Structure 1
């Protein structure tokens, strides 16, 4: 070993250090090293003394180390730091974080090298394991910076969304989001600023082919703003849920609405009528029910045929809807029987009279569907809900009023007042 006067306080400082420390001459030969370096490199002291740092450096890392050393000796660097591998005598490879500093004598001339080695084998192994898992995971995994740029993604991104990693890193991640999802995504990210976790957040991400994929995210935000994200493709699940919702709606609609006119059927109407009655106590005006019979409908079927009869029923349903407010309920009970529920009318009865007259006028207009061969009309029975009266009782009174109007000549309306029938014309 070259002769060199190592200060005693320097030797004392690194002798007990857990960091591998060595003093080398400018040619890379050992001057002194501590026991920690022997433990890291796996060599007994006498064997390590017979080697220089090149002998224990992994061949793949030697050029990088020499390049940095030459730059430092040339005056370009005061020190350098790099991760490199060392070869132990048992064949094992150990990773070290090497820091090399150039020491000068009192005259300012380069004198020796001070090297420190920290064993980072366990950390490198953990990173390798993480990267292996990162690469194999079928879910989208990513790390984003605080400014919204993706720093790292796994291969699943390309497999699922078709984007190369370079493209994903070149733009803020929000650029890849569906326009309708950007605001709420940024809002959620803002809620997590400074740290936090969110599970099950869904948004749509742009595929390279221009389509959109639904992704369900689990995201954790670190204190420095970095976002660690795991996302799974739930497009098929959401599409299946939407199909189920549509089917459920269609089945419910078919069960509660008349197939011909599209109006609520008897089952649906009675539920709505009962609800109106249940809430009538909290409203200033009680509901008014009209029971309507399409006069002359049998003649339409007999003269024009059932297909025309169906068309007249559809047209009559539309005229009923036109005659009342959007908030009112029009339904077909069966055959040529219809009902209209006027709920929460201002002025209640006078307003109901106006609605009845409007229905009679519209019902009495010609029906192009019949070609003028017969002219249907309407007869209406009216009933104002009474306290404590059930839905069936109210419907029965309106039905009785309709029959009273029919006996009086059809194409008119009737309601009961003080035990007497009151008739109305168009």
Structure 2
């Protein structure tokens, strides 16, 4: 079944371009709107699987406000589309728990990845929420352990049969020695449970810990206990409910792992493992902020490979991918920890050099990059050679923003391409 997507974009040309791309990729575009109020109404009426929301919208309702309303009324996932946004807007956007951000302009591959990851994350969260509901029902059923004791825990009055299932031990043992359940508590959690027992509660308390069954298997439980008072308000009984939450813990762990993978995929190139264009821009903007504060300098290097297409055509895309992976490693080994190497797409790479002293520092790195790339590649027992053309822009000489520095480094690189390749050049106004 095709995923249904709602586009919220106030620039008609951009909206049409996104719609065309989505339909070409096989998605169903169920609506295209330009105002936040319309987005909320369409989300309610059409029930899309995902909303692509421009953060900055014309009209009374912003994209962030519309996303919050959609989340509140429909619980439909939202991926933000943005070309730039101030810090306050981004903080407000984060509060709506978006399922991702797509930086305009974006490539079709980035658009597909962003959508698929958001849909996958939403599906897992729905599964986790359903698990939470199941566990709520479980706590009201006989699958939980119900127990009742004297206030000092010296006498066990009742324990339900579920104890034997969760602990793997006989209930009779508890009647003989009420605290013998501690023998089944994981050694690393036992002191926390003992501390709870040393001070019988005057109000409800809750603790999560692990149980180790006689067969060695481990499960997680949530132990809730509360006092039962006599007519004079004095505690004279202690009651408790113990629930097996192993699946819930597993779901939370899976979601945590997925979030980490999503973060990695959203900011890094899947082939080389290097930061992608989006993360490079973020790192460059951070480096610029530091440079402005400290009256420092930095350099942006735009690298385009020479002869890569010939290797790709002769040995195949798999070999080409291997070359790109090797180049990624070579570039990483050249840089300081404060610098950033990124794959910008295709056979283009970028370097951000922070805290350089002068133009010569950037020249030295550029020369090292040329030498590293020029070293032969052994692919399928064949020795291959490629080169590189590098354009360099400097802050503050060639630009004050990330966009300016990247654009001017790109311009300088193309001049190298047109004048013979295999070297580097600085941007000339």
> TM-score scaled to structure 2, two decimals?
0.54
Encode CA deviations 1:227-280: one digit per residue, 9 max, x unaligned: 754321111112122223333443454444333223333234334433443454
- Aligned pairs for 1:88-237 within 5 A: 137-142=142-147, 153-165=159-171, 169=177, 175-182=183-190, 185=192, 189=196, 193=199, 195=201, 197=203, 199-220=205-226, 229-237=240-248
Residue aligning to 2:390: 380
Structure 2 unpaired stretches of 5+ = 1-140, 229-233
Give 1:257's match in structure 2, choosing from 250, 265, 268. Answer: 268
Structure 1's 288 and 189: CA in aligned 2 closer, same or farther, altered over 3 A? Answer: farther
Encode CA deviations 1:175-221: one digit per residue, 9 max, x unaligned: 533355456x369749x847555655322221333121111232458
Structure 1's 193 and 351: CA in aligned 2 closer, same or farther, altered over 3 A? Answer: farther
Structure 1's 351 and 203: CA in aligned 2 closer, same or farther, altered over 3 A? Answer: farther
Structure 1's 149 and 382: CA in aligned 2 closer, same or farther, altered over 3 A? Answer: farther
Give 1:338's match in structure 2, choosing from 349, 354, 366. Answer: 349
Q: Report the secondary structure of 1:368's partner residue.
A: strand
Residue aligning to 2:375: 365
Measure, in 2, the Cα distance between the counterparts of 1:347 and 1:174: 64
Measure, in 1, the Cα distance between the counterparts of 2:247 and 2:406: 47
Measure, in 1, the Cα distance between the counterparts of 2:388 and 2:249: 48
Determine whether 1:307 maps to 2:318.
yes
Q: How far does residue 396 in structure 1 lie from its aligned partner after superposition?
A: 0.7
Measure, in 2, the Cα distance between the counterparts of 1:154 and 1:195: 21
Quick check: 1:300–1:370 contact (8 Å CA) kept in 2?
Answer: no
Aligned length: 282
Encode CA deviations 1:109-132: one digit per residue, 9 max, x unaligned: xxxxxxxxxxxxxxxxxxxxxxxx
Determine whether 1:244 maps to 2:255.
yes
Quick check: 2:301–2:393 contact (8 Å CA) kept in 1?
Answer: yes
Give 1:413's match in structure 2, choosing from 393, 399, 424. Answer: 424
Measure, in 2, the Cα distance between the counterparts of 1:354 and 1:149: 77
Determine whether 1:269 maps to 2:277.
no
Structure 1's 313 and 198: CA in aligned 2 closer, same or farther, altered over 3 A? Answer: farther
Structure 1's 179 and 364: CA in aligned 2 closer, same or farther, altered over 3 A? Answer: farther
Measure, in 1, the Cα distance between the counterparts of 2:200 and 2:357: 59
> TM-score scaled to structure 1, two decimals?
0.54
- Please report the RMSD computed on the Cα atoms of aligned residues, expressed in angstroms: 4.1
Give 2:308's match in structure 1, choosing from 297, 301, 304. Answer: 297
Measure, in 1, the Cα distance between the counterparts of 2:145 and 2:267: 44
